[in-house]
Amino acid sequence: MPFYHKLGNIPPKRHIQFRKPNGELYYEQLFGTVGFDGMYSNMYHVHRPTQVKEIKRQYSVAPKVVKPNNMQSYRLYGFDVAPEKDYLESRKIVLTNTDCHITLASPQNKTQDYFYKNTDSDEMIFIHKGSGTLRTLLGNLDFKYGDYIVVPRGIIYKIDFDTEDNRLFIVESRRPIYTPKRYRNWFGQLLEHSPFCERDLRRPEKLETHDETGEFIIKVKKRDEIIEMVYASHPFDVVGYDGYNYPYAFSIHDFEPITGRIHQPPPVHQTFETDAFVVCSFVPRLYDYHPLSIPAPYNHSNIDSDEVLYYVDGDFMSRNDVKPGQISLHPAGIPHGPHPGAYERSIGKTETKELAVMVDTFKPLMVTEEAMKIADEKYYQSWL
């Protein structure tokens, strides 16, 4: 996140001696991205964070692509993804390209007996159902329905769920995930007319510090494989850190919509960006107030991006028969728009209660085997 955060105890300057009460040194670690050019934090460990005792299993979790060159619109029934007890096993990649994986998950367990680290990708985890705590080496975050959780690559974490009925929409990004640059001034502060501000972004508050040695399994994801590594000390042994690189949460319910006299284009709903895709939040809002306005979106062609819409709640005004948990995929290069009747039906409406997350990718998305298990293959004919 592009603003400074400090938690726990740290020395007055970087790269100087910082000692424990018994006189021994704490172990400093620079946690940075994009080489030495991106956001970073400096953390201080009780034990050396480099002590690997054993490397165990290594296995593939790469998606199985069945449509590498897709031009068909699909509807996916996301709630048909079966719940699974294990958090990582519950994650089903439904759409993918070289920049990102789009994933559905329904994990049942309240915690797992391992830690997890994604070294390839930032993770944006949207909480559709469930609540709990994201526990990380940089502190903990409570989460609930409607929360986006952004976990930068390399963060070691585990998730404790409060219940067994959890539904997650996850985007793994091989590019760093940021707040949109146009929302920020030269110094990184969110501007007055941004649809959210720093007060809406929840940073880690409680820092766990475990002074424990033994055997601790971290499942590390690299190049679509999981490598099980056994470390000699508890990964949550940080006594303090500061910097700009840490996990944070933002509720979709805190997004303040931008409206106008006529229909506003999707960029007004933008919430996150990378140089490979954008994420938008469609939230309850007043409709357009020009006397001749048509609130439903006009037909449009995504010439340069695939459009993915994940439906969260409410009545999505441009679609017929849409339910929570469903995903629509509209590939680049072909036009799409309101379903029959939606264009006319929207005239005179004053507000919408829709809630949805949109991901627009600049490279085509490939359809996976997991997607075809939950796909409506005749969706592309629903405009007839």
Binding residues for Fe cation: 300, 306, 336
Q: Which residues are annotated as a binding site?
A: 300, 306, 336
Nearest to 148 by CA among 177, 174, 185: 177
Extended strands (E) in 300-354: 300-301, 306-313, 326-330, 335-336, 351-352
Residue type, 268: V
* Bridge partners of residue 242, in order along the sequence: 6, 42
182: helix, strand or coil? helix
% helix, strand, coil for the chain, step of 5: 5, 45, 50
The SS3 call for residue 159 is strand
Q: Which residues does the annotation place in the binding site for homogentisate?
A: 336
Determine the 3-state secondary structure of 168 from DSSP.
strand
Task: Give the separation between CA 116 and CA 303, rounded to whole angstroms.
Answer: 37
| Catalytic center residues | 263
46, 231 contact by CB (below 8 A): no
End-to-end CA distance of the chain: 45
Give dist(CA 95, CA 369) in Å, integer: 9
